[in-house]
Amino acid sequence: MSDITGLTLSQLVHGLRSGDFSSRETVQAYLAQIERLEPTLHAFLTLAAEQALAHADQADRQLAAWRKDEESHIPPLLGVPLAIKDVLCVAGLRCTAGSRILENFVPPFNATAVDRLLESGVIVLGKTNTDEFAMGSSTENSGYGPTHNPWNTERVPGGSSGGSAAAVAAYMAPAALGSDTGGSIRQPAAFCGISGIKPTYGRVSRYGLIAYGSSLDCVGSFARLVSDVALIYSLIAGQDEQDATSMDYPLAQANLDEVDLAGLRIGIPDEYFIAGIQPEVEAGVREAIKTLQSLGAGVERISLPHTEYALPVYYLIAPAEASANLARFDGIRYGPRSAAQNMWDIFRHTRGERFGAEVKRRIMLGTYALSAGYYDAYYGQAQKVRTLIKRDFEQAFEKVDVIAAPVAPTTAFPFGQHSDDPLAMYLEDIFTLPANLAGVPGLTFPVGFDTQGLPVGMQLMGPHFREDILFKAGHAYQQVTDWHNTMPPIVENSLNQK
């Protein structure tokens, strides 16, 4: 059983089907790893241990029946456990969005992405930590305390999906779901040394995702391997009548058997290699580009001239949309209610006592940007510049197939480094926000380590709905490198202790 947590998704599926181990043993192996490292890392907000074991027994019965008739239908991931970011509803499991205002919220339904995984035979291990309402880049804004980075527990795991990224990096789950509004899958994947996809906007249904910035939010997956990220993505992608922004667009299958990247044109945007970026991050990304070249890809310099506006544009649009989305948490329509004499005091106390500082800051910023006298100057203007950023990408993709860039300007930073300075924290997002503003997909995978042993990630962005190109390139890279197999020391120790 000791090796189960080290397996890839396809190895898990193979082992379960051939009866090398049971789903119960698989779930137990992950729960044991959670027991060993969760006290140190705090990746989870809710664990579903008993329920997961019960589901595993069901899966084992189904697997046994299938073994007697291998022609019969079997869900693709039957008996495989997964972790889910606590902004996605799983029926019957508490869903907090990292906020005290949803401390007791138990959704009666599943998010569509979760539903599709359950139909694929997946077992939910638990719900992972997140910055409150996915607002943040470190999980320090969680209402339940931060998650720690498995590579160095004094460092943040990134955010907002830091719990999902840490869980996968610490072998507490083989894969996980997250959400990415401005980088929340790609940046924690990079900080924790794993792979992650932010799909094209509209590719994965957001029904049952607690909304942050509705024109930016995307649901995506984490795993150690790009091929596993691609597998989960292929199961959750596709139109959903419950989400009017989800698109009916054919799913291009990535050809992962091909390691040859001949003909692939990679664009290197000048605006992403700027002063202030940590030298080892730049060196790691440039080295990875050379590896992609050695596999046959061609490289050319490109320009995305409006990149510098992505940060101010995002930090107007995202808070504006958040202020509207969070209006419902007022103690009357949603959430617990603080005792008060009248309606306004109920609002004031409920929201004042239960929202954290960052959420309040964004509600104020967003409400201001949307208010009558300022709408044109701020929100309206931001929307116009957003169009220019989108056009930058469209023009670039006339010349190149993918764009290669760093994920974040630094590797994982120490707790508290940006806590008193929201603007410094927002700067962490400069390389991830443009993809959300343009709606294009972005894939992160590990490409090395800095001198302190912290992972360096790189990002490939592609045209709308061309996740397949990103997966092919990322997978090819992982065929000739080994970063994705390197284990954080505390994980190695925890596995040796068994």
Contacts of 179 (CB under 8 A, 6+ apart): 85, 87, 88, 134, 160, 161, 185, 209, 212, 217, 218, 219, 220
What's the length of the chain? 498
Q: Between vectors from CA 482 to CA 480 and to CA 487, what angle results, nearest 5°?
A: 165
Catalytic pick from 23, 120, 142, 160?
Answer: 160
Element (H, E) at 177: strand 175-180
- Compare residues 131 and 468 and give the one whose CB is closer to ligand GLN: 131
Site string for ligand GLN, 171-190 (x = CB under 6 A): ---------xxxxx------
DSSP code, position 174: S
Q: How far is the CB of 427 from ligand GLN (least distance, A)?
A: 10
Element (H, E) at 379: none
95, 117, 232, 318: which one binds ligand GLN (CB under 6 A): 318
- Measured between alpha carbons, how far is 185 from 178 in angstroms, rounded to an integer? 6
- Compare residues 160 and 444 and give the one whose CB is closer to ligand GLN: 160
- Compare residues 129 and 184 and give the one whose CB is closer to ligand GLN: 184
By CB under 6 A, tell whether 212 contacts ligand GLN: yes
- Compare residues 5 and 142 and give the one whose CB is closer to ligand GLN: 142
- Compare residues 101 and 289 and give the one whose CB is closer to ligand GLN: 101
Phi, psi of 424 (to 5 degrees): -65, -40
Q: Which tokens sit at 427?
A: 């700067």
Q: How far is the CB of 424 from ligand GLN (least distance, A)?
A: 12
Q: How far is the CB of 91 from ligand GLN (least distance, A)?
A: 23
CB 135, CB 160: distance < 8 Å: yes
- Measured between alpha carbons, how far is 435 from 424 in angstroms, rounded to an integer? 20
Element (H, E) at 426: helix 422-427
Q: How far is the CB of 299 from ligand GLN (least distance, A)?
A: 28
- Compare residues 80 and 365 and give the one whose CB is closer to ligand GLN: 365
Residue with tokens 């305390």: 145
Q: Which tokens sit at 482?
A: 């080994």
Q: How far is the CB of 409 from ligand GLN (least distance, A)?
A: 13
Q: How far is the CB of 306 from ligand GLN (least distance, A)?
A: 19
Would residue 85 show up in a list of annotated catalytic residues for this protein?
yes
Rounded to 5, what percent of the chain is helix, strand, coil?
Answer: 45, 15, 40
- Measured between alpha carbons, how far is 462 from 403 in angstroms, rounded to an integer? 6
Catalytic pick from 22, 85, 198, 234?
Answer: 85
Size of the site for ligand GLN (CB under 6 A): 13
Q: How far is the CB of 445 from ligand GLN (least distance, A)?
A: 18
Applying the rule CB under 6 A, the residues between 356 and 415 that interact with ligand GLN are none
CB 120, CB 69: distance < 8 Å: no
**Cα dihedral sign, 206-212-217-222:** negative
CB 461, CB 444: distance < 8 Å: no
Q: How far is the CB of 261 from ligand GLN (least distance, A)?
A: 29
- Compare residues 329 and 483 and give the one whose CB is closer to ligand GLN: 329
Q: How far is the CB of 209 from ligand GLN (least distance, A)?
A: 11
- Compare residues 115 and 358 and give the one whose CB is closer to ligand GLN: 358
Would residue 160 show up in a list of annotated catalytic residues for this protein?
yes
Contacts of 146 (CB under 8 A, 6+ apart): 42, 129, 138, 139, 140, 156, 162, 415
Catalytic pick from 23, 164, 184, 221?
Answer: 184
Q: Which tokens sit at 382?
A: 């931001």
86, 243, 429, 468: which one binds ligand GLN (CB under 6 A): 429
- Measured between alpha carbons, how far is 111 from 38 in angstroms, rounded to an integer? 25
Site string for ligand GLN, 265-304 (x = CB under 6 A): ----------------------------------------
- Compare residues 156 and 403 and give the one whose CB is closer to ligand GLN: 156
Would residue 205 show up in a list of annotated catalytic residues for this protein?
no
Site string for ligand GLN, 118-157 (x = CB under 6 A): ----------------xxxx--------------------
Exposure class string for 26-65: b at 16+ Cβ within 10 A, else e: bbbbbbbbbebbbeebbbbbbbbeebbbebbeebbebbee
Sites of contact with ligand GLN (CB under 6 A) = 134-137, 160, 180-184, 212, 318, 429
Catalytic residues: 85, 160, 184
